[in-house]
Structure 1
Amino acid sequence: MEKRYAFVARALTEAIADGRHPVGSVLPTEFELADQFAVSRSTVRAAMQELQASGLVSRKRNAGTRVEAASPAKGRDGFTQALNTIEAVQQFGTETERHVQRVADIVADSELASQLGCRPGRRWLCISSLRTIPGDVTQTPICWTDVYIDGAFADEVRAKMGGHHEIFGTLVEKISGRRFVEIRQDISAVGVSDAMAEPLKAMTGAHALSIRRQYLFASNELAEVSLSIHPADRYRYSTRLLRRQDTNG
């Protein structure tokens, strides 16, 4: 007999696919879904985890469950990330575990400034971490990430980072009292470097994706940059492109 959470997950997947819950919309609350399907909230939460793992939805505390794709992302074993909004990027922190490797104050030289897209001499707090999938007994990292946070927030980030489990961008927003209005993302194909091979448990030169994300406040104010290396067999990026509506009737 099909488990109740699997039934709920399948029913919601079908509802999303046929447009009853379009991309960008927010699903009913756990209470409402529990009433709709005559199940417990724990059953609804298990179903939501299924949808989240498939890339269909993203979840954020106090913001509900947002539909991110019309169909599940399919691919090889590993981590699939469906990114259509800033909130979906922020969701990454709740779906993976961070293992901090080092924390350092950095002054950008010309080479680093070029990588980050900032001026040389700018001060940053750099937090380097490995990310793993919860429950993975092998603890195989899905990426190495260097997060560069504007030096103006360095002291407060250091003091609060221990109890913060989301991405650091949400912590910067809380500290600054401002919200990021734009994330600029660049993806390129690279090989795993000698320095990255051992911590990532990968072969030197293995195929990987390099992802740079620049976090900006209003007026193009750059406050954070992340540089990530994802071994190709452990990560898949998924997005959905729509045709622009014809405004000429």
Structure 2
Amino acid sequence: MRGGVPMYQKIKRQLIEPIERGEWPVGHPLPSEAELSQQFQVSRTTIRQAIGDLVSMGYVTRQQGKGTFVSQARPHITATKLYGFAEELRQRGEEVQIQILFMRAFHFIDKSEIVLPWTLDGQTWELQRIAHIDGQPVFWETSYLRLPNDLSVASWEEDNTSFENVYGYFERCGVRIASGLQTIHAETAMEETAALLQVAIGSPLLVVERITQDDTGDPVEYSIVKYPAALYRYEVKLLRQEDNFSIS
């Protein structure tokens, strides 16, 4: 440790800078451990620790027998406006492909662990989707949709964009999406999730749960979305209100 900051963290920061500036694009190889060890005058153990952090953070990937390469840029989510999860990425210019796993009527008795924010007095449907960017899974979403009683599932399925943009479909049917309450927590990938997201069992996940409401305050969707943690950075802008300040 030098100057109070571990050397591997200083090296990690210096390696991140050319990636974030775009000097090292996706696929660019990092210098070898031997080269970095000589450049920074540290042991290979220190270099491995720095690179290991970069792998965990999603900046680089290791390819056995080939080296370490800059990975696909992490989607950067800024929590300011209410978008659908795929819609959020498209707003940032990402080319997102949606794979539909299924859509089916939801029966409470089938999944007693699910507590929906509405009573099952109308049509509730369960939709599962996986989103890909450049062939890589970036999230797995399970949504419970409270469809209007006058909307048939056949009409939903006939709309080619309904599975791509759920909010847009609701709004075309006269349901105005107004707000969402979102919570975020971490968990590790179990076998099914790991297989769907193509990560190792036990890998860290970012889990977002959201209740979406219409303009009358009624909930219309409850979603659980699981992201590989290494692929994401979540940003929230916080403002300090004037009444929090004291003048002395």
Q: Give the CA deviation at 1:83.
A: 1.8
Residues 1:130 and 2:130 are matched in the alignment: yes
Residues 1:104 and 2:66 are matched in the alignment: no
Residues 1:172 and 2:188 are matched in the alignment: no
The structure-2 alpha-carbon separation of the partners of 1:104 and 1:194, relative to structure 1 and needing over 3 Å to count, comes to same
Distance 2:77 2:228 in 1: 14
Unaligned runs of 5+ in 2: 1-21, 23-56, 60-72
Residues 1:199 and 2:200 are matched in the alignment: no
The amino acid across from 2:102 in the alignment is R
Tell whether the 8 Å contact from 2:82 to 2:180 is kept in structure 1 after alignment: yes
Unaligned runs of 5+ in 1: 1-49, 51-73
DSSP 3-state at the match of 1:240: coil
Deviations 1:211-235 (A, max 9, x none): 1111101343111121111111112
DSSP 3-state at the match of 2:185: strand
The structure-2 alpha-carbon separation of the partners of 1:191 and 1:117, relative to structure 1 and needing over 3 Å to count, comes to farther
More deviation, 194-203/89-98 = 89-98
- What TM-score comes out, normalization by structure 1 length? 0.59
Q: Indicate the residue corresponding to 1:145 in structure 2.
A: 141
Distance 1:89 1:203 in 2: 23
DSSP 3-state at the match of 2:136: coil
DSSP 3-state at the match of 1:199: helix
Deviations 1:175-213 (A, max 9, x none): 1x1312210101111111211111110111211011111
DSSP 3-state at the match of 1:142: strand
Residues 23-172 of structure 1: matches in 2 within 5 Å?
76=59, 77-87=73-83, 91-92=87-88, 94=90, 95=94, 96-109=96-109, 111-114=112-115, 116-119=116-119, 123-133=123-133, 136=134, 139-152=135-148, 153=151, 155=153, 156-160=155-159, 162-164=160-162, 166-172=164-170
Task: Give aligned-pair identity as a percent.
Answer: 18
DSSP 3-state at the match of 2:177: coil
Q: Over alpha carbons, which structure has the higher Rg?
A: 2
Distance 2:79 2:121 in 1: 32
The structure-2 alpha-carbon separation of the partners of 1:124 and 1:75, relative to structure 1 and needing over 3 Å to count, comes to same
DSSP 3-state at the match of 1:170: helix
DSSP 3-state at the match of 1:212: strand
Count how many residue pairs are aligned between Structure 1 and Structure 2.
170
**Deviating runs (4+, > 6 A) in structure 1?**
none
Distance 1:121 1:195 in 2: 31
Q: Decide which structure has greater helix share.
A: 1
Q: Give the CA deviation at 1:124.
A: 1.7
- What TM-score comes out, normalization by structure 2 length? 0.59
> Among residues 178, 193, 206, which one is paired with 1:209 in the alignment?
206
